[in-house]
Structure 1
């Protein structure tokens, strides 16, 4: 039986082994048949078109238009298995192209429009579908038009670009280390974006991100963005650059190389960040120094170029992109954090101790981003400054006056261009993390909060030390999770420009030195914001600019305020009156935070210390103000008494007895009145002083228990942790209109 049971199995196995070559022959045989059939279709169509064109008149006109050539190219691409628009059936394309030709052939004008559109399409389709035309085009472009660029496969790449120097209302540099444009997918990729903007004399904003991908007419995707707000002379990079004062514009060159902000960025770069490797520089520059660019025609003369050899082009491109990634400040911060976290992990005794100590978890991307932002805070605002830049003020002058005047008279064209751009390019941020140093926060609190009070009050001194110890050695980071944003630019001037932001997560961190230890102190369920900008602030829209308020307009509004007295409309009208007098417009901001919210206990203790310090300083401030007011009143009263006495003696010597008696009575009565006023004010001042001192001490004693304050704050936060809904803020940012009125041009509008 065993033999009988085993025998079929053996026979089946032998049969399977015998069938294997038969199956291989069957699998291989249909392939040439399918290739033969697919090649017959385009070749038959080509032969039929040639014969018809030679024998008849209308097929010749059809051939000249390019319609059959386009269909043949698409059929041939289908045969080779690499066709443009593969998701559309080939016969649908065939019918659509010929139907459009049939309509256009009824008019000579439409016929030539079809011809002008069809032949460039044939060229683009050939480049996409076939390797031979693509190689020929790349080789030709490298030798002619694109000598200074990188042309790899279907990609055009730029490296070592000059920076954009912002020299308008603020000072700054905008750097893009590399740009790649893919022609097949119509996608623009920017590598290594760095921006440093000087907002005030001692405030600076540094922004960095590794990659920005722009699929044209689809969306914009931004990688993790890290922003650092720097303050104080020890943090800023552009501290020596003059703020609010334009530099001399006597250089006619488009690209400049010796400006104040470039020098400041270069000095900071040499002190904090390593430059390019010597071997890499030699390879990219062919051992020669870059030449200076003098005009717009040679603007990209210093751009690094690759060898025209097709085999080495792709390898060199990958080498440059990899170099940008390896030298990125963000990448280096990740490496440093991994090494530090691994060292602490090796020294730790157990995993539970790591969690209690708040050690960095490399698997948690939210914590890692906050640590990276704190790690790069001490680096220069522009880690890789280029040697050249293009000024914004120079770009404003490049337009020809007549062209600029013509475009100025057609503001509708700007709106017609920006409306689809905003619609088809929603911006998606992977995350945005902003950080600031606690040392700068401490200096601001000493300057604006504690002032001189800590030298005269031991309690304030203790609170200042407690607050400083929590802030001074740490950095604070706010992280916004994935963000979806979009802008609405209206065609009609009756509507305003609106920008919408939606954040799925909001977190705040406190990071300790080296950013290896951190605490999440705040977390919200999300947030959203709407920014509304008046359309008339957009350039070339002077025709809808609000006129300056006249005296009659102000008088009319004051009358409306008087009529609305005692109603909510009164406050709105008063605010509108203040804006008219100052000649201001406003940008409206509306923001909402989604609940519930979570708060760390250390943050609650910090808030309790701030509340206590504010109350103590407020009581001391009221006491000082009462003391100064009393002293001023005493000095003014003594001066009045001396003046009255001298005046009475002069009148006594120069008048008769009757008048002297009369003046003496008036003088005595006047002095007695002043004495009563002075004594009453002294009594009131003493009572006020004593009352304020008692109130101050009562406030201090009431707030002395920090745990009680923490519990009071904790009750509010506990409710926020369980609450559902949103907490919002809506306000306006004033915008002075005077500087915009100066720039107005008086040409009439053709299409307003």
Structure 2
């Protein structure tokens, strides 16, 4: 349909378009640079002159001047004359009246007078730094020569780059890298540029997390840019090597602040002849052969940190270049560039929609899956185990006796810093999924049954060449850290959108297989697991208490509370605590047909494997029965031989020979009967197995399973409400009891 013609207003004559001058002759007038509007400075200077004359001639103006009230008013008036003052929304005379009224009240007491004086002069300094450039320059030069010799201001910002990495060398191994940090003093905002983390979760699983920016407006909230997490598993993906998992680094007295001889760094070190050790190095591989080097002391660790001096005219330009370099070299930016080029390349026929942000995020996460876990490792690293130590054990013991101070500090920090994630996308490779299914699902059954072999090939064809990504839309999260020990730590998460994708990185092809209306989760952590809270740790149950609980459970037999009581009893016997997790998915849900076919194949493979497993169990039981029968026959033979030997002395030789021959004939007869029975049982079981397999194959065919799965998904696509899971993650308490310290608490 053609676009309708828009008619002009009635009564208006059409005007000819004015000819534009040629592009070559067009001149643009540069916009004037905005400057501070100067107004009359007679009023503030006259006020200052009158104040000085009054302080010289009279006594009460001198006391007034010493308090700082007229100086504060003069600074505000001078800022008003320059057109740049604090509290621009408040009238100037209201500020003048308020300051002097407060002084008049506080001047009635000598104590209140000095409280006002000690508070007024720092306010004057802050006002001058905010309103005038000259005091700011003086302050920067003073701080550069005294307190901040290694860090310098860029206008009102402190910026430094190439920070040492944080090496996690506890039960979990890994590296945490921040490529640059900027702190704005005027807005009290901290910005982290280029955050990268690589963590070893188990012996064959690692997690790589990357994001470009994290903005922390202090005491307001935390904004996190798009997060891309990749779960890597299998020998072909895991790059952490043979570093011991679940074993913290041993502590030594000669340990320096910066890592020098840990297992991770030893694996990452280069041999004297320039070759790497034979065993796989975690840090070397996860950083693409750019592992951080060791340092002997703290000063050498921060010697490579880049500082920017505000005295240089090009300091701001240099800062912008460094920040731009971080984002240009990010793997996320490179993935965006590669996907954009693939989408514009006509030969590759990319099916990615660049206008859909959700699809682009999933494609980026799948694209960077094969990149190193730490693409930009720094040259230095600091260990977590070293940060736990302190050179002042008395101070540590004193703070250990005041756990109330920790709660009093963390409670407002959690309250004033809710975390908002732009998105979180996690991806895993289909090749790893296939290996897990072969290891835990198909096992050896594929070599015994052609139907299972066909299903395995069908599932592998859909998974092997693809990566699967789960994307969580904007996430709002908050944590509550209680001051009262009667409550637990709670973390709330709310996700506005949940999507799952199947991506082909090489072909730049993407399919959305699942989409939900959102999700929410609540994580509850016991407060006694927080350090320095041994005084509220649950006591270990004695044998008498456990016996009392068992007797109480007998009284609850047949009631719904019986299972709950038994579960608590098992937790007490194992000395475990529970971290409660409650998650809900918001319906309706959407499913792609390819996913439904995949689920149908998995269901059918499970049914066929169950039939094969039941046949194997029956076969094992039959073998055990045969062995037990053979053992009983051997016992009867031994008893018969003993009896024959005992009676051989009283019988004649001819009678003995007759007895032996009769026993041998009886044994042969029993063997023939047993062999026939076994052969008949084996044939019967094989026939039953074939018949059962045929029956299962007939019942659990693709059409029947697809119809069943389709009915369930159609109901989920129309249903309203939530479907969720609630359970507990067991946490063993033995290792926490070992760390308990015996000091009594002053403020529990």
Is this a same-fold pair by TM over 0.5? yes
Match of 2:588 in 1: 596
2:257 pairs with 254, 262, 272, which one?
A: 254
Match of 2:718 in 1: 722
Match of 2:131 in 1: 129
Q: What's the CA shift for 1:81?
A: 1.9
Q: What's the CA shift for 1:47?
A: 2.9
Match of 1:214 in 2: 216
Distance 2:215 2:638 in 1: 86
Distance 1:57 1:530 in 2: 65
Match of 1:480 in 2: 472
Q: What's the CA shift for 1:246?
A: 3.6
Bigger mean CA deviation after superposition, 424-433 or 450-459: 450-459
Q: What's the CA shift for 1:715?
A: 1.2
> Greater helix share, 1 or 2?
1
2:317 match: secondary structure: helix
Match of 1:579 in 2: 571
Q: What's the CA shift for 1:568?
A: 1.2
Structure 1 position 538 matched with structure 2 position 534: no
Distance 1:109 1:297 in 2: 45
Residues 1:724 and 1:701: Cα distance change in structure 2 (over 3 Å): same
- Residues 257 and 388 of structure 1 are in contact (CA less than 8 Å); yes or no, is this contact kept in structure 2? no
Residues 1:698 and 1:399: Cα distance change in structure 2 (over 3 Å): farther
- Residues 372 and 515 of structure 1 are in contact (CA less than 8 Å); yes or no, is this contact kept in structure 2? no
Match of 1:318 in 2: 320
Distance 1:500 1:676 in 2: 71
Match of 1:268 in 2: 285
Listed as ranges, the matches of 1:158-307 within 5 Å are: 158-247=160-249, 249-250=251-252, 251-256=254-259, 260-261=263-264, 263=268, 264=281, 267-268=284-285, 271=288, 294-296=296-298, 299-307=301-309
Q: Deviations over 1:170-218 (max 9, x none)?
A: 0011100000000010100000000000011110000000000000111
Residues 1:99 and 1:550: Cα distance change in structure 2 (over 3 Å): farther
Q: Deviations over 1:147-183 (max 9, x none)?
A: 4334210000111100111111100111000000000
Unaligned runs of 5+ in 1: 1-30, 276-289, 349-353, 659-663
Match of 1:10 in 2: none
Distance 2:99 2:170 in 1: 51
Match of 2:39 in 1: 35
Distance 1:684 1:87 in 2: 97
Q: What's the CA shift for 1:744?
A: 0.6
Q: Deviations over 1:257-291 (max 9, x none)?
A: 67554534663377489x9xxxxxxxxxxxxxx99
- Residues 266 and 385 of structure 1 are in contact (CA less than 8 Å); yes or no, is this contact kept in structure 2? no
Residues 1:652 and 1:247: Cα distance change in structure 2 (over 3 Å): same
- Residues 177 and 193 of structure 1 are in contact (CA less than 8 Å); yes or no, is this contact kept in structure 2? yes
Q: What's the CA shift for 1:693?
A: 4.6
1:560 pairs with 536, 539, 552, which one?
A: 552
Residues 1:557 and 1:94: Cα distance change in structure 2 (over 3 Å): farther
- TM-score after normalising by structure 2: 0.85
- Residues 506 and 527 of structure 1 are in contact (CA less than 8 Å); yes or no, is this contact kept in structure 2? yes
Residues 1:105 and 1:679: Cα distance change in structure 2 (over 3 Å): farther
Residues 1:377 and 1:402: Cα distance change in structure 2 (over 3 Å): same
- Residues 147 and 305 of structure 1 are in contact (CA less than 8 Å); yes or no, is this contact kept in structure 2? no
Aligned residues: 683
Residues 1:629 and 1:156: Cα distance change in structure 2 (over 3 Å): same
- Residues 164 and 174 of structure 1 are in contact (CA less than 8 Å); yes or no, is this contact kept in structure 2? yes
Match of 1:741 in 2: 737
Q: Deviations over 1:640-680 (max 9, x none)?
A: 1211331243256458999xxxxx9xx9xxx9999999999
Distance 2:542 2:408 in 1: 34
Match of 2:17 in 1: none
Q: What's the CA shift for 1:457?
A: 1.0
Match of 2:705 in 1: 709
Distance 1:692 1:104 in 2: 97
- Residues 35 and 79 of structure 1 are in contact (CA less than 8 Å); yes or no, is this contact kept in structure 2? yes
Distance 2:677 2:563 in 1: 38
Residues 1:711 and 1:45: Cα distance change in structure 2 (over 3 Å): farther
Match of 1:85 in 2: 87
- Residues 186 and 216 of structure 1 are in contact (CA less than 8 Å); yes or no, is this contact kept in structure 2? yes
Match of 1:367 in 2: 359
Distance 1:147 1:181 in 2: 16
Q: Deviations over 1:10-46 (max 9, x none)?
A: xxxxxxxxxxxxxxxxxxxxx99x922xx34433432
Match of 1:528 in 2: 520
Q: Deviations over 1:561-599 (max 9, x none)?
A: 101111110000110010000000000000000011000
Q: Deviations over 1:402-425 (max 9, x none)?
A: 111111111111111111111111
- TM-score after normalising by structure 1: 0.85
Distance 1:102 1:419 in 2: 38
Q: What's the CA shift for 1:360?
A: 0.4
Residues 1:417 and 1:119: Cα distance change in structure 2 (over 3 Å): same
Distance 1:425 1:492 in 2: 20
Q: What's the CA shift for 1:241?
A: 2.4
- Residues 194 and 211 of structure 2 are in contact (CA less than 8 Å); yes or no, is this contact kept in structure 1? yes
Q: What's the CA shift for 1:307?
A: 4.8
- Residues 101 and 114 of structure 1 are in contact (CA less than 8 Å); yes or no, is this contact kept in structure 2? yes
Structure 1 position 695 matched with structure 2 position 712: no
Match of 2:11 in 1: none
1:70 pairs with 60, 64, 72, which one?
A: 72
1:499 match: secondary structure: strand
- Residues 159 and 307 of structure 2 are in contact (CA less than 8 Å); yes or no, is this contact kept in structure 1? no
- Residues 86 and 130 of structure 2 are in contact (CA less than 8 Å); yes or no, is this contact kept in structure 1? yes
Distance 1:272 1:331 in 2: 21
2:747 pairs with 723, 748, 751, which one?
A: 751
2:323 match: secondary structure: helix
1:119 pairs with 118, 121, 139, which one?
A: 121
- Residues 176 and 196 of structure 2 are in contact (CA less than 8 Å); yes or no, is this contact kept in structure 1? yes
Distance 2:629 2:45 in 1: 114
Distance 1:165 1:90 in 2: 54
Residues 1:147 and 1:45: Cα distance change in structure 2 (over 3 Å): same
Distance 1:689 1:579 in 2: 45
